[in-house]
């Protein structure tokens, strides 16, 4: 057999082409239209004993208006002409197709042998240019596990695009212009711009200052309300006191970590008549680029240093760090505001300038093109507050244009939580309303659901979170203990690689559209369905190949042995890898690839445990098993690299 980029897809298309030609000839219909229908109907049977592919004759009969008997006979007679088809059965009006595994395995291994580590990579004449903006957590605290999910998903997109040959740029948007950074900067200035203590990561340290500042300001507000409330408002007093008790408990927890700082903040903030006014003053003046407020950027940069360190630990990279304050300086924001004022969609909403979307939303075609959910109610986009300061989404319009322009991007993908679905819809509508149609249609919101840590409700403002640093440290410690129990000593670096791979696989094996429940024990399971399990399987396969110096005697393979299990099913699965990558690229969802790789790992471990490989006495069968081992190693290595898992040589 020859070589093809996608063995599974090649065989499937061959069957579709052959059967479609028969139908088109009998009905004098357009062949391409018939192929689309047949391709949508062809399926894999639920059980292997029913064949490799199956065609539902009754459905084809109804769609094309052919008698059922004629349809079945025509399908069977046309499929007999395909050399790769070994036999055809008809069961309950389903035409089940069994492939010739001698020919299929030769096709698969010729393809893997020729492609090597490029197996699974499609060829594009003109690869896309894509910007992926992800993480972009506010620079006020360390990355928690919610941000960790964002980081892992964004990194997966980057690695997937790089694997298939796209030009990709990774960007992090540092939101240093806003209320949260102003809260941190307020506390930072009160404490006379302190440096983190020794062995205290800056993002962790300043995250506690941010939380303490926020909590103390909230405490001051509640105490003021308690003083003003009358005795006739007992239910309200009771509720306020309950909230105050919770805040004091949160502050006590923060104080355990930074006692001197909390005492100083408490003393100074409670003296202020209007601490929130001070915070708003910092926010407004910093947005106006007043140099006297550069301490906002200063403390934000310190937090970003800590975040970058965490990302390095997670093996997640960023190419460009964009600062929101730099977007204001760029002049693009001014361009956006001028275009808005000249737009027919410009108006006033609640007394302030806004873009009105009613006419756009009445056009179903525009909603479809901009991927606006039908049931989503989108209010006007307020461009500026009454004091003249801009809103986050207004600045995001300018930032989106910068991302498209600076990289000459075909697409820009924003990895942002599902809660931002409204603001992202407003952003696309605003771009369209201002005449940036290409950008509006090629801006993609890659959404994901929340992370659930059993027994804990997370809040950055209260410093109630589990950081990525803490989770990785805990998981790495567990890895060392597990390995020690197995009689293996691992270095800190090896433990971290296994831990972060477990963390990533835990995230990527769950659909982004589902809530992620953190289960560390399951994530570190070496025996099944985990990142370490996949790493372990790859090491197993590689150790076999190392013993033969990665040499497979391809010319001595006995392909007739391909009908034996579990080799047969492994070859079938190996044929699918390019197809799986193609579907992953189309959907941008990682869980299908994760599930596929675990299946390959399971099948190979079954083979490894059930039969000898290197000690196989039948030379032709031995080389077939080595070819399978080589194919498994290539597929697992490439698959793990797309998912961002560390590929280990030993474990």
Give me the domains of the chain, ranges plus CATH numbers: 7-99 (3.30.1360.70), 129-137+147-176+319-451 (3.40.50.620), 179-293 (no CATH), 468-643 (1.10.730.10)
CA dist 271 to 265, 303, 355, 608, Å?
10, 27, 41, 71
Q: Is 128 exposed, middle or buried (0-12, 13-18, 19+ CB in 10 A)?
A: middle
Distance CA 500, CA 315 (A): 8
Sheet holding 352-355, edge to edge: 346-349, 352-355, 381-382
Report the pLDDT value the prediction gives residue 387, as an integer from 0 to 100.
Answer: 81
Of 162, 152, 154, 266, residue with least CA distance to 214: 266
Q: Following DSSP, what letter does each residue of 597-650 receive, concatenated? A: HHHHHHHHHHHHHHS-STT-S-HHHHHHHHHHHHHHHHHHHHHHHHHT----S-
Terminal Cα-to-Cα distance of the chain (whole angstroms): 37
Maximum pairwise Cα distance, the chain = 94
| Residues 145/451, Cβ–Cβ less than 8 Å | yes
Of 474, 466, 532, 541, residue with least CA distance to 504: 532
CA dist 572 to 8, 9, 16, 100, 318, Å?
8, 12, 18, 11, 37
Q: What are the backbone angles phi and psi of residue 530, rounded to the nearest 5°? A: -150, 170
Report the pLDDT value the prediction gives residue 429, as an integer from 0 to 100.
Answer: 97
Of 503, 464, 407, residue with least CA distance to 129: 407
Helix (H) or strand (E) holding 516: strand 516-517
Report the pLDDT value the prediction gives residue 541, as an integer from 0 to 100.
Answer: 97
Distance CA 624, CA 226 (A): 79
Distance CA 405, CA 275 (A): 40
Q: Which residues of 577-599 are buried (b: 16+ CB within 10 A; e: fewer)?
A: bbbbbbebbeeebbbebbebbbe
Q: Work out whether strand 381-382 and strand 352-355 pair parallel, antiparallel, or are unpaired.
A: antiparallel
Cβ neighbours for 252, distance < 8 A, ≥ 6 positions apart: none
Of 449, 491, 500, 493, residue with least CA distance to 471: 500
Instruction: Quote the tokens at residue 612.
Output: 């000898």
Q: Work out whether strand 516-517 and strand 346-349 pair parallel, antiparallel, or are unpaired.
A: unpaired
Distance CA 188, CA 212 (A): 11
Q: Where are the alpha helices (DSSP H) in 319-420?
A: 324-330, 332-342, 358-361, 364-369, 392-407
Instruction: Quote the tokens at residue 491.
Output: 């270095």
Distance CA 274, CA 262 (A): 19
pTM: 0.94
Low-confidence residues of the chain: pLDDT under 50: none
Of 62, 42, 44, residue with least CA distance to 52: 44
| Residues 173/336, Cβ–Cβ less than 8 Å | no
- CB atoms under 10 Å from CB of 496, counted, come to 20
Indicate the DSSP class of residue 193. Answer: S
Instruction: Quote the tokens at residue 234.
Output: 């007992």
Distance CA 269, CA 39 (A): 68
Instruction: Quote the tokens at residue 139.
Output: 């620079």
SS3 category, 450: coil
- E runs forming strands in 247-344: 320-323
- What residue has token string 């599930």? 595
Of 530, 440, 429, residue with least CA distance to 478: 530
Indicate the DSSP class of residue 126. Answer: S
- E runs forming strands in 427-466: 443-448, 451-452
Instruction: Quote the tokens at residue 254.
Output: 């923060």
Instruction: Determine if residue 318 is left, alpha or beta; phi over 0 gives left, psi from -120 to 50 gives alpha, anything else beta.
Output: beta
Report the pLDDT value the prediction gives residue 316, as an integer from 0 to 100.
Answer: 98
- What residue has token string 């293996």? 488
Distance CA 113, CA 131 (A): 33
Report the pLDDT value the prediction gives residue 458, as an integer from 0 to 100.
Answer: 56
């Amino acid at each position: 057999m020859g070589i093809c980029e996608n063995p599974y897809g090649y065989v499937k298309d061959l069957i579709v082409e052959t059967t479609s030609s028969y139908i088109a000839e009998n009905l004098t219909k357009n062949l391409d239209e018939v192929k689309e229908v047949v391709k949508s109907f062809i399926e894999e049977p639920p059980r292997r004993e029913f064949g490799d592919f199956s065609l539902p004759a009754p459905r084809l009969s109804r769609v094309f208006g052919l008698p059922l008997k004629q349809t079945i006979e025509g399908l069977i007679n046309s499929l007999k002409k395909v050399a790769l088809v070994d036999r055809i059965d008809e069961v309950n009006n389903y035409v089940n197709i069994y492939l010739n595994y001698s020919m299929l395995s030769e096709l698969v291994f010729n393809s893997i042998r020729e492609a090597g580590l490029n197996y699974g990579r499609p060829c594009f004449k003109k690869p896309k240019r894509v910007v992926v903006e992800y993480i972009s957590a506010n620079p006020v605290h360390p990355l928690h596990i919610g941000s960790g999910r964002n980081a892992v998903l964004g990194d997966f997109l980057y690695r997937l695009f790089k694997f298939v040959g796209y030009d990709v740029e990774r960007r992090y948007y540092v939101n240093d212009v806003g209320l949260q950074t102003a809260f941190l900067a307020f506390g930072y200035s009160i404490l006379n711009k302190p440096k983190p203590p020794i062995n205290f990561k800056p993002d962790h340290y300043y995250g506690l200052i941010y939380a303490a500042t926020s909590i103390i300001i909230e405490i001051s507000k509640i105490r003021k309300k308690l003083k003003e409330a009358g005795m006739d408002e007992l239910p309200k007093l009771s509720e306020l006191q309950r909230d105050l008790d919770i805040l004091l408990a949160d502050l006590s927890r923060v104080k355990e970590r930074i006692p001197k700082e909390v005492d100083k903040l408490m003393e100074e903030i409670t003296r202020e008549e209007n601490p929130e006014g001070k915070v708003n003053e910092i926010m407004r003046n910093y947005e106006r680029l007043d140099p006297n407020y550069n301490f906002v950027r200063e403390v934000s940069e310190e937090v970003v240093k800590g975040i970058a360190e965490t990302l390095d630990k997670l093996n997640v990279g960023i190419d460009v760090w964009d600062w929101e304050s730099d977007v204001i300086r760029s002049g693009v924001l001014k361009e956006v505001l001028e275009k808005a004022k000249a737009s027919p969609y410009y108006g006033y909403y609640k007394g302030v300038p806004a873009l009105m979307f009613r006419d756009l939303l009445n056009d179903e075609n525009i909603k479809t093109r901009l991927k606006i959910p039908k049931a989503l109610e989108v209010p006007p986009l307020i461009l500026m507050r009454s004091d003249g300061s801009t809103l986050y989404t207004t600045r995001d319009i300018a930032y989106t244009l910068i991302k498209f322009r600076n990289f000459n991007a075909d697409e820009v993908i924003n990895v942002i939580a599902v809660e931002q679905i409204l603001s992202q819809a407003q952003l696309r509508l605003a771009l369209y309303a201002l005449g940036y149609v290409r950008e509006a249609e090629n801006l993609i919101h890659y959404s994901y659901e929340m992370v659930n840590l059993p027994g804990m409700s997370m809040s950055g403002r209260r410093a109630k979170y589990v950081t990525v640093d803490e989770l990785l440290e805990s998981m790495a410690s567990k890895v060392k203990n597990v390995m020690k129990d197995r009689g293996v000593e691992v270095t800190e670096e090896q433990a971290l690689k296994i831990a972060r791979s477990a963390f990533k696989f835990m995230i990527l094996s769950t659909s982004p559209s589902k809530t992620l429940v953190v289960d560390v024990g399951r994530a570190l399971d070496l025996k099944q369905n985990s990142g370490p399990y996949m790493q372990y399987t790859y090491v197993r396969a590689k150790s076999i190949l190392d013993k033969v110096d990665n040499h497979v005697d391809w010319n001595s393979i006995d392909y007739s042995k391909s009908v034996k299990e579990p080799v047969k099913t492994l070859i079938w699965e190996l044929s699918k890898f390019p197809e799986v990558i193609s579907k992953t690229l189309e959907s941008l969802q990682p869980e299908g690839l994760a599930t596929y790789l675990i299946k390959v790992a399971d099948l190979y471990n079954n083979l490894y445990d059930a039969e000898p490989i290197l000690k196989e006495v039948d030379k032709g069968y031995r080389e077939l098993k080595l070819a399978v081992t080589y194919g498994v190693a290539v597929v697992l290595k490439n698959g793990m690299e797309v998912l961002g898992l560390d590929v280990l040589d030993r474990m």
